[in-house]
């Protein structure tokens, strides 16, 4: 029995509030249950030094939690003077995941930064960030294409992410905080429409799992991401 009463393969309600902020070229507030992340896509006509002169663009991600996004207040990373290992790990994942679906030649010599700021956390903030970042990116690319700055769509596919885990011995989809903090195993899947895997990060905590367990989690993730893909399409139509 899950704390939320959800079925093992039941995802939380997901929604995208697009245009949440007015300055960014693309933005949305993604809600996955009580987890809420503000995702913005910022287009800059400059690229990192090591890419200059190659006719290619770049996509990168940044991630942060507001100090009181969580049950108890966490220290502000800007005040501590450095980003935690967890933050860096997550923002590297966001960047890699979105780059997996962008054709850098078609993007041209510009950089898009995907800022994912968690306003409220209830489990699954990194996966919500990826799913929301795709929407922000889609909207930013749309506006670049409408303005004639880009001709061919550089986005090759949708990308979405979801967590799965083994809770009380049962594989379940889309862990919330109550499950996440007690799960035996926790896996984040970044999937691409059409059944391709962009990234798997599966960690045993407490108990370990075997090939069979990994496959069952992957299949749950496919179910979840199909739902997110549909919601992304609805939000960006």
> Where does this chain bind a copy of itself (CB under 8 A)?
20-24, 27, 34, 38, 40, 42, 44, 62, 64, 66-71, 73, 76-89, 91-92, 96, 100, 113, 115, 117, 119-121, 187, 192, 195-204, 208-211, 213-215, 218
Q: Residue 233 CB, nearest distance to a copy of itself (Å)?
A: 20
Q: Which two tokens stand for residue 120?
A: 């409220």
**Which 3 state secondary structure label does DSSP give 190?**
strand
CB of 184 to a copy of itself, least distance (A): 11
Output 23 or 237, the one with its CB closest to a copy of itself.
23
CB of 107 to a copy of itself, least distance (A): 16
129 three-state secondary structure: helix
Residue 9: phi and psi, rounded to 5, are: -105, 25
Nearest to a copy of itself of 221, 234 (CB atom):
221
Q: What are the residues whose beta carbons fall under 8 Å from the beta carbon of 155, sequence distance 6 or more?
A: 101, 102, 103, 137, 138, 141
Report the nearest approach of a copy of itself to the CB of residue 61 (Å): 11
The 3-state DSSP class for residue 20 equals coil
Shorter beta-carbon distance to a copy of itself: residue 18 or 113: 113
Write the DSSP string, 90-124: HHHHHHHHHHTTB-HHHH-S-EEEEEEEEEE-SS-
Q: Which residues are annotated as a binding site for phosphate?
A: 86, 124-126
Q: How far apart are CA 120 and CA 47, in angstroms?
A: 32
> Least distance (Å) from a copy of itself to the CB of residue 125?
13
Nearer to a copy of itself, 1 or 143 (CB): 143
- 172, 220 Cβ separation under 8 angstroms: yes
5 vs 195 by CB, closer to a copy of itself: 195
């Amino acid at each position: 029995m899950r704390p939320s009463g959800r079925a093992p393969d039941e995802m939380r309600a997901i929604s995208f509030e697009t245009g949440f902020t007015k300055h960014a070229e693309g933005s949305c507030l993604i809600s996955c249950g009580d987890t809420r992340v503000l995702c913005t896509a910022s287009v800059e006509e400059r690229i990192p030094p090591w890419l200059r002169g190659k006719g290619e663009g770049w996509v990168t991600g940044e991630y942060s939690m507001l100090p009181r996004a969580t049950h108890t207040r966490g220290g502000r990373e800007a005040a501590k003077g450095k980003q935690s290992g967890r933050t860096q790990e997550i923002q590297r994942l966001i960047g890699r995941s979105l780059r997996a679906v962008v054709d850098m030649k078609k993007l041209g010599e510009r950089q898009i930064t995907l800022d994912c700021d968690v306003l409220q956390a209830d489990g699954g903030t990194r996966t919500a960030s990826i799913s929301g970042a795709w929407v922000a990116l889609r909207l930013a690319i749309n506006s670049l294409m409408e303005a004639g700055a880009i001709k061919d769509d550089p986005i090759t596919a949708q990308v979405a992410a979801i967590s799965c885990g083994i809770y009380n011995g049962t594989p379940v989809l889309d862990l919330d905080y109550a499950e996440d903090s007690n799960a035996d195993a926790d896996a984040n899947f970044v999937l691409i429409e059409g059944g391709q895997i962009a990234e798997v990060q599966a960690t045993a905590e407490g108990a370990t799992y075997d090939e069979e367990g990994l496959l069952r989690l992957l299949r749950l993730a496919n179910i979840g991401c199909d739902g997110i893909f549909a919601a992304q399409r609805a939000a960006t139509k």
